[in-house]
Homo-oligomer: A and B are copies of this chain.
């Protein structure tokens, strides 16, 4: 992999620092629940199809009492897209070189009243360079106040940058996190964005604010719900709900399919799958 330029290095440093802050916060929540669960961090390396080293990442996973299973991955990879993929990626049609750095997080929670969550932000460069990402909330048992709080915090992060961001990106999330075969959404939405290009400083600042918004609001929602009592019927609801989450990720999620079908790190890609799921 070629040495990182300043923008790539800055983005990578931010994603890795955010990872550390998020993991610290999640471990703090575990301690508040009387658990000493910690993240385990497992580095992995990537090679191009021809065997050239192509970067890698660190897969972080914690099995806790509040967080039944949570994965927080960072990766910084680069190399050359295969011809087939180069045609599908903006700016790679002529020159298949690419670089990507990002953070990706999925949390499946033990208490059915605490929503699962997904957050992912990334910086890509080909002959073009852009940011993308998003976050969405996935409650098995939805509470309107959690949905409202999650959206309000993302709306605020968006509003500080561009008045069109929240309306566009929350609609994009609605369309993206949709299970056509069940004609229903996978959760209660959030934001999804991609191809933010042309203004590195501004779009990097926005991407940082998405991370900050997530780190601000999600732990609040977890702490407010994690001690709620639940029943066997609630667990049943949770396990069935997770079945829909599995269906989305394996049938429709572009990141999952792209990763699996191009020889990505399986464990890192599939960390998004729940610890236990049910189909009746």
Contacts and interface: CB of A to CB of B under 8 A. Distances in A.
A17 interface: no
Interface string A246-280: 11001100000100110100100010011111111
Given A246-B250, A250-B250, A182 B279 contact: no
A275 B270 contact: no
- Identical chains in the assembly: 2
Chain A residues touching B, majority SS:
mixed
A199 interface: no
A132 interface: no
A210 interface: no
A68 to B, nearest CB: 11
A251 B182 CA distance: 17
Contacts of A275: 278-280
A243 interface: yes
Contact of A266 (B181, B239, B257, B260): B181
A266 B280 CA distance: 12
A260 B276 CA distance: 23
Contacts of A257: 251
Given A181-B261, A246-B250, A270 B279 contact: yes
20 contacts: A69-B279, A180-B261, A181-B260, A181-B266, A239-B276, A243-B273, A246-B246, A246-B277, A247-B250, A247-B270, A250-B251, A251-B260, A270-B279, A273-B279, A275-B278, A275-B280, A276-B277, A276-B278, A277-B277, A277-B279
